[in-house]
Structures are given as structure tokens and as C-alpha cells.
Amino acid sequence: MKIKIARLILYIIITVWLSLWINFILRDLFKGHALKEYMILVKQDDEGRRSYTFGDDFYQFLKYAKEKIPQACTYSLVGVEQLEIDHRRAVYYLYPLLPSNDAEYILVYKKLGHKNPKYTECFRLDENRYILKRKY
């Protein structure tokens, strides 16, 4: 008898716990409009998902930089703070290129007039996005 009561109590607790979690998840999906964003992501290919999550402007710059910089080089990213999520996204996307304080290339993103006497401009996507290469 005691075992049946204990199982019933356990069943009730698990049922209540699961229903609360399902409620929290569904409420956030519909109330926070996350379902709409998930549907946008589901319909995209890999390029589209990256463009949507990184921001189209930033993603196009990272894609351009990855095409232009040789595989075994180091880089530094200017215009995005190190603690920002965009910096982490850039490090992830640009791998196997490695970030460095004494980098061979400086990726300048929306930082107008960034000058460094040790570097010269080698590639330019537009006025706000360009790549500097260290002089030897």
C-alpha cells in the first residue's frame, strides 16, 4: 500500500514538473516571437543562417576576410570588442586562422580611419570594412 502511494506521489510530482516546463517553453516560443525566428532559420541554408545570426554586413566581411587571408596567418579584429558575441562568432568562423595580439593581418570593421604605422592596407571591401597587412 505504501509503495503504491509513493509511486502515485512520484507520478504526480513528475507530471506537474513536466507540465510546468512544457508551459515555460511554449510560452516563450509564442510570447517572445521566437517561433517566428526559428521558422526563418529552418527555411535557410547554412549561408543564410550564418548571415541571419551574424548580421549580413558582418558576415559578408568575415567571408571576404576568410577568402583573402592565407590559411596559416594570424589576425586581429578591430571594431568589435573582445567580450562581444560578434568577436566569438568571428573567431569561430575564421578558424583555422588564429587571433593574435601581434597579428599579420588586422581586420577593421566599421572603425573609420584606423591607422597603424606597422601596417598597410591590402584589401578593401568598402569604406568601413578593410584589411591591413603588417609591413616586413
Amino acid found at 127: E
From first to last of its 136 residues, what are the pLDDT tens digits of the chain? 788 899 999 999 999 999 999 998 888 777 767 778 888 888 989 899 999 889 999 999 999 999 999 988 999 999 898 889 999 999 999 999 999 988 999 999 988 767 788 898 899 988 889 999 998 7
Q: Is the domain of 128 the same as that of 76?
A: yes
Domain that holds residue 95: 57-134
Given the C-alpha cell 586562422, which residue does it identify?
A: 97
Q: Is residue 61 one of the residues assigned to a domain?
A: yes
Q: Identify whether 51 is part of a domain.
A: no
Q: Is residue 48 part of a domain?
A: no
Domain-embedded: residue 20: yes
